[in-house]
Structure 1
């Protein structure tokens, strides 16, 4: 057994999720794994072995990609703001593909890297597509250059090798996802014609849905590949021959269902006719900024062999009343020391949480492969003194 709390990642489930998504995508196409979902080294190396490329947006994610053995030509460096030193270090490491969000971003990369790199221009389309869990375009945004801006001033956006569009996230309905990709493809055609460039790469982003901290399974998209291929045939007839290369991105779909958080009950009591369950884990281990009401609150499914009771408050161990996973909810009637499991937290789980808040130890991370524990580790938080030069 392993120490708790623990995030357990099942690599067999990870491979299954990858196979499901590849079946849903048109061929030929490339698939980038978005490291922000889960940067665990064995998770990313398993996806590398499955054929994924790497989408990173920080020096830490880049270091993880390189350590995991991703070829530098398979790495796309994204993000709405980049420090000069991060661009320089990425170029020194051999990265040749960047996504930029403005004329300033394009000029920055060109100034620091010259002709060594290729840039994708991220586009903020005019209107959002329906059915999104989180809208990423069609609103005022740090992500991408507004479509109207590009069309009105195309000379500001020349010298690009491709386009990057990402309409929204967590789209569970196939029709909505097809509509999103169709809008992006049509927009890409307009931009390419207006700027006057032949695209090398068209990155259509993602938006593939997955359950988060709740019981459930991955949605399937049985006709997505053929429907998107037909749209590409119409707008970019050379795509099947690689002109342009078509790319997609995914984080949550690939990793969500591979992860389970296992944690124990620390205290159990009644308070004003309400069952109170205090767990080892709270917003410091799952839910992150939602615990501070920056995002909709997470109300995880708690799996246990105990019968359920209501009403209940499920809380973590932190010294703040905001550290709750649910108020007035139905919860298993556990006893101190009992284990509970939260499913589908392989994406945006541990690395998206408030680990530094109040200084509790990070959960153990356990990797299971073929039903056996293959690796255990724990993130450590410590302060490293800066050198005089860094200061």
Structure 2
């Protein structure tokens, strides 16, 4: 939790006065701490990929680069953030289902040469684009394994899924390993995400290592890189601490020594991915109460932020109950209020779906009061309905060591597009306004 007193010695009230409300604040000192904790929990020498989907803010990505992490990206927008943060294209691992020929080409043009492929068709698309650029793309085969049934916030594989190649369908042959434009260099596993139970996560990682070893022996796979995924959890939108995964290193090193004994010398290199664990507790969202009202026995506090600013995949009902705490000076509990009982926290949007929390409150907030939603560094702004109702995004401020590193605001803007010459929509072609065939 990013408390008021721990905001890198920068007072929230001062930041709110300078940049307005609502306001995201990210603390890079907490990012540094999270990377150190995860590195201590992983097998010695393991690579860490930062999943930009959690938060692609360039300053957070730059902090990952400073801490020796590599970028894991799933879009050209995330690629742009990684490059802005100082990474090279060749530092990136590009994954995700449904990669188009255009985005693969853009990635290759930027120097990306390592891809995680989700199907044999995906492998072929990467290979075709690599041939266009006269290069050979290094590819990991993402495997949809059986899984152990460990509890998680969301299972990614181990069942019918758009992610990965089903384990029972894996048939790596010489033709695949020598296909033009690609070189298969290893395997990628990512069975679950947000696994708060360390024992369950350990079981999944151990199972993935054993599966990788079986596939290597069966298909003589050149296993140069083994990506064991992530699943590392973090609290979201409520007070709490990151789980302790310190028990992971020993059993995972043991199974690696047993199944893939060359791993300590880089045969294979072993990597893990994380997003929310690395940045989740680095951020807080500060907002203001605009109205407090009662409607037919239900009390509402309307905030200047809503599901357009708060993430958690709110649009598909994956927003957990939030805990927004008032920023009150020590010893000031708040004015007695005639509003007793639970208070529903809502946003300012014109939809009944804009409900943030129905948690009971001992002291209702007051109009004009500032609230703090902690642990909002991951899946916050860029996982939100930022375009809905065309409201401005909150400011984002990054602090480090008691100073403001950056302050900015994300914007959605329309840009004119130029049609390709020869396309029906290009000036002078049939179908363009003023030309025959255009429906005026």
User: TM (normalized to structure 1)?
Assistant: 0.95
Q: Distance in 2 between matches of 1:297 and 1:348?
A: 10
Q: Which of the two has higher C-alpha Rg?
A: 2
Deviations along 1:252-276, one digit per CA (max 9) or x if unpaired, are 0000000000000011112223221
| Matching of residue 314 in structure 1 with residue 345 in structure 2 | yes
Q: Secondary structure at the match of 1:181?
A: helix
Q: Secondary structure at the match of 1:346?
A: coil
Aligned equivalent of 1:235, options 259, 271, 276: 259
Q: Distance in 2 between matches of 1:316 and 1:332?
A: 19
Aligned equivalent of 1:200, options 217, 224, 245: 224
Structure 2 residues without counterparts, runs of 5 or longer? 1-13, 179-183, 426-440
| Structure 2 residue aligned with 1:178 | 202
Q: Distance in 1 between matches of 2:137 and 2:261?
A: 26
| Matching of residue 362 in structure 1 with residue 393 in structure 2 | yes
| Structure 2 residue aligned with 1:40 | 57
Count residues with an aligned counterpart.
Answer: 388
Q: Secondary structure at the match of 2:407?
A: strand
| Structure 2 residue aligned with 1:189 | 213
| Cα 1:332/1:317, change in 2 over 3 Å | farther
Q: Distance in 1 between matches of 2:175 and 2:234?
A: 38
Contact 1:128 1:139 in 2 (8 A): no
Q: Distance in 1 between matches of 2:289 and 2:113?
A: 49
| Matching of residue 222 in structure 1 with residue 246 in structure 2 | yes
| Structure 1 residue aligned with 2:100 | 83
How do 1:293-308 residues align onto structure 2 when only pairs under 5 Å count? Answer: 294-304=316-326, 305=328, 306=333
Q: CA deviation at 1:72?
A: 2.6
Structure 1 residues without counterparts, runs of 5 or longer? none
| Structure 1 residue aligned with 2:154 | 134
CA RMSD in angstroms comes to 1.8
Contact 1:150 1:157 in 2 (8 A): no
Contact 1:154 1:194 in 2 (8 A): no
Q: Distance in 1 between matches of 2:354 and 2:93?
A: 36
Q: Secondary structure at the match of 1:330?
A: coil
| Structure 1 residue aligned with 2:30 | 13
Q: Distance in 2 between matches of 1:330 and 1:207?
A: 32
Contact 1:277 1:315 in 2 (8 A): yes
Q: Secondary structure at the match of 1:310?
A: coil
Q: CA deviation at 1:161?
A: 0.6
Contact 1:129 1:179 in 2 (8 A): no
| Structure 1 residue aligned with 2:414 | 383
Contact 1:288 1:354 in 2 (8 A): no
Q: Distance in 2 between matches of 1:47 and 1:63?
A: 15
Deviations along 1:120-147, one digit per CA (max 9) or x if unpaired, are 0000012353122210111111110000
| Structure 1 residue aligned with 2:144 | 124
Q: Distance in 1 between matches of 2:255 and 2:176?
A: 25
